[in-house]
Amino acid sequence: MSLALFTSLRSLAVSTALLLTAALSSLASAQIIGSDDGPLSPDLSNGYSGYFTTIDDKTNKPKSILRVTVKDNMLYAQVVKLLTKPQDSLCEKCPDNLKNKPVRGMYVINGLKRDGDEFSRGEILDPENGKTYKARVWPDEGNLKVRGYLGIFYRTQEWKANKNYVPETPVKAAPSPDNSEPANVADT
């Protein structure tokens, strides 16, 4: 392999890793609210409910609070509170029906399919850059591991369970990335 080709491939890998880091950092912290389909795992069993807090990779500070629900063997994650931006922030870089919609209320995961104790075969939206990534979510000691994929590269983050969060005001559901309206899922 020539030095130029090696340098180009290395540069591409670094750029992709940085892109994934930025994408997932905006989603890093959340908590689970509940499941209509029973427990996700022993860690989340018996009606476990709540929210998850995402952590910013760059500052290591809480970034947002997400509500995660499971309905009909599908996993959904909705932004319920922004911790580093105003609550009325808009998704300026989001595509199509999500462009310039409020980030608060937006579904960043809309319908990952259950596969045993994990959910996959779907996408996660990064409201920071408006891009979607293939995703996989699984429980880990009461928290959730969230992995976003860009081709063969991936980045994994932990969404921390936030059992103390109490919603201040109801969240109006924004359209989801696939144009469906899962408002009935989160309005439980």
Residue 180: pLDDT band with limits 50, 70, 90: low
Task: Say which CATH number the domain at 120 has.
Answer: 2.40.128.520
Residue 188 within any structural domain of the chain: no
Give the residue numbers spanning the domain of 152.
Answer: 3-180
- What value does the mean pLDDT take over residues 78-84? 95
Residues 6+ apart with CB under 8 A from 78: 66, 67, 68, 69, 105, 106, 107, 108, 171, 173, 186
Reported as a single tens digit per residue, the pLDDT across 128-167 is 999 999 999 998 888 899 999 999 999 999 999 998 888 8
Q: Does residue 75 have a pLDDT over 60? A: yes
Tell me the average pLDDT across 42-57. Answer: 61
Averaged pLDDT score across all residues of the chain? 75
Q: Residue 142: its pLDDT value, please? A: 85
Asked, for residue 186, whether it belongs to a domain, the answer is: no
Q: How confident is the model at residue 178 (pLDDT cuts 50, 70, 90)?
A: low
Give the pair of three-digit tokens for residue 29.
């912290």
Provide the domain count of the chain. 1
The rounded distance, in Å, linking the Cα atoms of 182 and 19 is 28
* Cα atoms in the 13 Å half-sphere on the side-chain side of 99: 4
Point out the least confidently predicted range of 39-48, 60-69, 114-123. Answer: 39-48
In this structure, is residue 187 part of a structural domain? Answer: no
**DSSP 3-state percent helix, strand, coil across the chain (nearest 5):** 20, 40, 40
Evaluate if residue 94 carries a pLDDT over 50. Answer: yes
pLDDT band of residue 168 (cuts 50, 70, 90) is: confident
- Name, in order, each residue with C-beta under 8 angstroms of 66's C-beta and a sequence gap of 6 or more: 27, 29, 30, 31, 51, 52, 53, 54, 77, 78, 79, 80, 108, 159
d(CA 4, CA 8): 6
Whether residue 49 lies inside any domain: the answer is yes
